[in-house]
Amino acid sequence: MIKVEHLYKDYAEDIKVLHDVNFTFEDGKTYAIIGSSGGGKSTFIRCLNMLEVPTSGTITLDGTVVNDPKTDLTKIREKMGMVFQNFNLFEHMVAKKNVAYALMKVKGMEKEQAYEKAVEMLEKVGLGHRVNSYPHQLSGGEKQRVAIARALAMEPEILLCDEPTSALDPEMTTEVLKVLKSLSHTGLTMIVVTHEMAFAREVADYILYMDQGEITECSTPAEFFTNAKTERARQFVANML
């Protein structure tokens, strides 16, 4: 469970991005975060694993305050996988090493075991035949699936995804969303920032609407798409569909 209380994030004196965000993510649920550009979605999701340091407020993961300077971030990050818009694969490592690397460095696995697990994870995302390819030899969709395998290999409790399909063309978007869909409701908590309304509607348990640095609503997809709570959200839905 991630509990976010009074979260503020300013990048500078005059760039105040998050204003008093409060929310609790329940275990095992899938959340889609949507909202117009610049609303603070990326900033919010990046605060959860401390890629951005909150200005004030607290984020608590299973009772541990994530943004306490005394907290061991390694432990927190082991529990939270992250998938990025631009894949961010290690360009100098083949697919299986991309997956195996953190297993060895962070989980302390033996090389052989780590690679075995890496291959197994890559097979799970349909890339059993690509384990020895370098990122530059892969398509966008394949890269993103490697990135998902890399995050999942660590056996996180939570998977954060920031626009995982925004850099992909429609065909590849489908293959990546299929993988993400298969992960939902498997016990993993998923928090996905997305512009894919069909995915949000079909897969998410809850839709969080973020607007101008606040979560203005949390609704089920059925509620959100038919009767969003705020005028701005209704406008957003109308524009998207």
Partner 1 sequence: MTLRFDRLGPYLPFLLNGIWPVIILSLVAAFFGCVIGFIAALAKRRGGAIGKIFGAYIDFFRGTPAFVQLYFVHMALPQILKFNWPGWLSCVIVFSLNSGAYLAEVMRAGIEGIDRGQIEAAKALGVKSKDITRDIIVPQALRKILPAMFNEFIALTKETSIVSVVGMMDLMRRSSIIQGTLYITFEPLLVVLVVYYLLNKILSFCGKCLERKLKYD
Binding site for ligand ATP (CB under 6 A): 11, 15, 17, 37-43
Point out which span in 150-158, 173-181, 197-205, 219-227 binds partner 1 (CB under 8 A). 150-158
Nearer to partner 1, 141 or 207 (CB): 141
Nearer to partner 1, 94 or 228 (CB): 94
Residue 55: exposure state from Cβ atoms within 10 A (0-12, 13-18, ≥19): middle
CA–CA distance, 50 with 73 (Å, rounded to integer): 8
202 with 224: CB under 8 angstroms?
no
What does 80 interact with, of partner 1, ligand ATP, Mg ion, none (CB < 5 to 8 A by kind)? partner 1
What does 82 interact with, of partner 1, ligand ATP, Mg ion, none (CB < 5 to 8 A by kind)? partner 1
Q: Min. distance of Cβ 210 from ligand ATP in angstroms?
A: 6
CA–CA distance, 11 with 67 (Å, rounded to integer): 16
**Closest Cα partner for 45 from 189, 214, 160?**
160
Q: Min. distance of Cβ 71 from ligand ATP in angstroms?
A: 22
Size of the chain in residues = 241
Q: Does 167 bind partner 1 (CB under 8 A)?
A: no
Touching Mg ion, residues 40-79 (CB under 5 A) = 42
Cα separation values, 47 from 23, 42, 53, 170, 237, Å: 13, 8, 6, 29, 26
Touching partner 1, residues 199-218 (CB under 8 A) = none
**Closest Cα partner for 51 from 40, 42, 60?**
42
What does 37 interact with, of ligand ATP, Mg ion, partner 1, none (CB < 5 to 8 A by kind)? ligand ATP
Nearer to ligand ATP, 12 or 241 (CB): 12
**Closest Cα partner for 191 from 83, 97, 54?**
83
CA–CA distance, 178 with 199 (Å, rounded to integer): 9
What does 73 interact with, of Mg ion, ligand ATP, partner 1, none (CB < 5 to 8 A by kind)? partner 1
Nearer to partner 1, 158 or 177 (CB): 158
Nearer to partner 1, 176 or 228 (CB): 176
Q: Min. distance of Cβ 207 from Mg ion in angstroms?
A: 16
Q: Min. distance of Cβ 74 from partner 1 in angstroms?
A: 4
Q: Does 84 bind partner 1 (CB under 8 A)?
A: yes
Touching partner 1, residues 38-77 (CB under 8 A) = 49, 51, 73-77
Residue 238: phi and psi, rounded to 5, are -60, -40
Q: Where are the beta strands (DSSP E) in 26-119?
A: 30-34, 56-61, 64-65, 80-83
